[in-house]
Chains A and B, each alone.
Chain A
Amino acid sequence: MTDKQAYPVDPQWIVQSEKLTKIFGQETGVDALTLKIPRGTIFGFIGPSGCGKTTTVRLLLGIYPPTSGKAEVFGHQPHRYSQEERGRIGYMPQLFMLQPGLTVWQNLSFTASLYGIGLRRRNRLIELLDLVELSGQERKIARELSGGMQRRLSLAAALVHDPELIFLDEPTAGIDPVLRRKFWDHFRDLKEQGRTLFITTQYVGEAAYCDYVGVMLDGRLLMVETPENLKRIGIEGEVIQLRFDGYLSQNKIELLRQQSFIMDGQMHMLDNLSLQLIVDDAAEALPALLRWCEQNGVEVQEAQKLEPSFDDVFVQIIERYRNHE
């Protein structure tokens, strides 16, 4: 957990780790990961490919024992889970890992049996197939499904036993935007029902749907923040965009750059009539900015706070970290 992390007061931690490390031969997969995840939240895990997201998931699932450090899920070390504890966890791996020779229905049924769900599972399976829009495909052999359909089937299989804690490793990869939105809606529903979701993704924009976002790079967790804070940290402030009625003279541009509400003079022209500037807090800076324009005879056509994309934020963070190194 980083210092800037904004967790609720006295949370009930479902996942905790301290200096959790996994080394494969000469290569460090996860390096001293310290993390806390409160129950009933959506935790997004973002980072470039190969940064250690999947290894972290496997460590928390108990698939890998740690090389050093420790993790606790439900208060127990993952690689020593009891069968009952494993039954409280759902897992959707990054790759399709169901039975390629079985039908959609048989795969779901197999997973249900794997989690000890009795024969009265029919309605649950129908409901899940409906959620992942695979109704009508029950008799299709899994290996004959498209990549996107296989991901949907994997998601349904991960949810079949209605788990308390759900690890989803890139659940939306290869899914069309409409269905992706539907998935996230369902994830939020699950969160509302008290479930905790640990979701890795390469779609950085999906960080907006999460309660907390962890950014990982080269096996190290850089930060855990709310999406809002992440943007602030990424851009190091907030962005205001201005559009003027007429040209702004060079003198006035330099004068504006020297104003205290602009952070470190960070301002750049987009064209002759518009510019962007970085402020600490847009809500405070915007009235001061408009006041300065009025006092200096500058006609403002439009002024607004810009929401930078998470892609930009992510790129900023990663570049800054690498430059710092």
Chain B
Amino acid sequence: MSEFFHRVTSLLIRISSFISKEYFSTVSQPRLLGVLILGPFLILLIFGISYQNTYRTLRTIIVVSEDSSIEASVKAFAELPMPGIQVTNITSSTTGAISDLKRQLVDLVVIVPPDAVQKIEANQQAVFTYYHQEIDPFEVAYVEIVAERITEQTNRQILLAAVEQGKAAARTHQADIYNLREVREATKENDQSAILVTDENDNLPDLLWLFLLFAGEGGESGPADTPVSYPDSTANPIASAEVGDDELQTVDAQLTRFVEMESQIIVEPFRRETRSLNEIDIQPVHFYVPAVLALLLQHIAISLAGLSIVSERFAGTMELMRAAPVNAFEVLLGKYLGFLIFLGILASLLSALIHWILGVPFMGSVGLYALVIFLVTIVSLGIGFLISSFARSDSQAIQFSMVLMLASIFFSGFFLQLYQLRWPAQTIAWLMPSTYGLQMLQDIMLRGTQPESWLFWVLGALALTLFTVNWLRLRGLMVQT
């Protein structure tokens, strides 16, 4: 029993030697600590203070042909407030406008089609052409959105004008109906003067005819379903008294309703209103904090572990380990624990700073948060140790670490969502702990929800696999050939 106790005690002491070594080696470098804790915090702080969630206004030239029938309309239209653009000039010179764009004097050139009216009358869409020279994909997307909104607004304005015209016509037709009803009344009373009026109304306007057809079919089928043919005077149902007074009354009521409706409602019957299930207002900096934390932890863990074994190998300290009564399992476990303690303290300090100083919300369970930090760190350490066991120098280990950092920025979902990547890149993404950390920390911190359990299991499996591989690898390194 005492022998067993002695063995266990010795084992723990040997493991503790690496825990304290790694811990003290790291904390004895105040500059490194400053860089690791204050550096990232200050970056986040400056980002939080300086980030403006606004979009720029695009300086825009509108090109419209001088002989275009809509030049005046375009100029009037340009006076209206437009989303995302500021019209700096209206010109007829496409070349001059494009030249200004190339010289970056403006951000956008809109070419109004010279034959817009003819195209529309020929039952074709007229095309606004937007020129830009953005290279940033996000800016290109922004220009696309602005162009879409300008086109929509143009279409909306035209629709509004059409509705207003329709209302004016409807008022005229209501007057016609009123006259018609009076004629009918007079007919019943044999009033010839009123009948004469009816002759003048034989050819009813198309719009009224359309409404009459609606009314005749109970308003259930529209013009598209009902072939409309221009009535001749002999077939006019009103004139031939096929349409009853009740139907005329219905048409009149519908026209009244149409006229009384807000044109804005007719053109845009729906408007949007988005609501988040989040109980709090998430600022852009809040969104990025969990991602930065995950990336940072991964990078520091990989760098520290990446340097750990390679420096033991090349500084010769590995030789002392080979001679000492310590095996690869104890060395590796001690190193894992030493770095875990250090990174745990680092993560706690950073978490406290970002919550209390930056005001980043913390909606979920602290226990789950700690578990995610633990798993992300331990997997990152595993990757670092693996790099370290293959690297041929300190600088090579750092290079590997930097490559992984770069890969994480692109593939972890930091600024591109994973669904935007093709599957091989997604596979790479799911091999990196920061991908898991980013999603899980966002769920816990910002949504207050529990991440899906398979994420925990995969991270755990990765940690275990990497530990085993590193153990076997270190065992090989500790026995020289």
A interface residues with partner B (beta carbon < 8 Å): 58, 61-65, 79, 83-87, 89, 91, 93, 95-103, 106, 109-118, 141
Contacts and interface: CB of A to CB of B under 8 A. Distances in A.
Given A65-B479, A101-B25, A102-B28, A113 B17 contact: yes
Interface of B: 9-11, 13-14, 16-17, 20-21, 24-25, 28-29, 315-317, 319-327, 479-481
A103 B479 CA distance: 28
Contact of A97 (B10, B17, B319): B319
B36 to A, nearest CB: 15
A63 B319 contact: yes
What 5 pairs across the A-B complex have the smallest Cβ distances?
Answer: A113-B17, A116-B10, A86-B325, A97-B316, A83-B325
B325 A84 contact: yes
A284 B286 CA distance: 98
Contacts of A93: 316, 319-320
B226 to A, nearest CB: 89
Contacts of A84: 325
B29 A101 contact: yes
Nearest to B480: A64
B317 A62 contact: no
Contact of A101 (B10, B28, B322): B28
A112 B13 CA distance: 9
Given A113-B20, A117-B13, A62 B323 contact: yes
A111 B481 CA distance: 25
A113 B316 contact: no
A93 B323 CA distance: 10
Nearest to A121: B13
A8 to B, nearest CB: 28
Nearest to B320: A97
B16 A113 contact: yes
Contact of B322 (A63, A83, A85): A63
A98 B321 CA distance: 10
A114 B319 contact: no
Nearest to B321: A114
Nearest to B6: A116
A114 B317 contact: no
Given A110-B20, A110-B21, A62 B316 contact: no
Given A101-B25, A110-B17, A113-B14, A118 B316 contact: no
A55 to B, nearest CB: 11
Nearest to A117: B13
A87 B21 CA distance: 20
A97 B315 contact: yes
Contact of A115 (B11, B25, B29, B324): B324
A100 B10 CA distance: 25
Nearest to A57: B323
Given A86-B325, A87-B325, A116-B13, A102 B320 contact: no
A45 B283 CA distance: 72
Given A110-B20, A113-B20, A98 B317 contact: yes
A96 B323 CA distance: 15
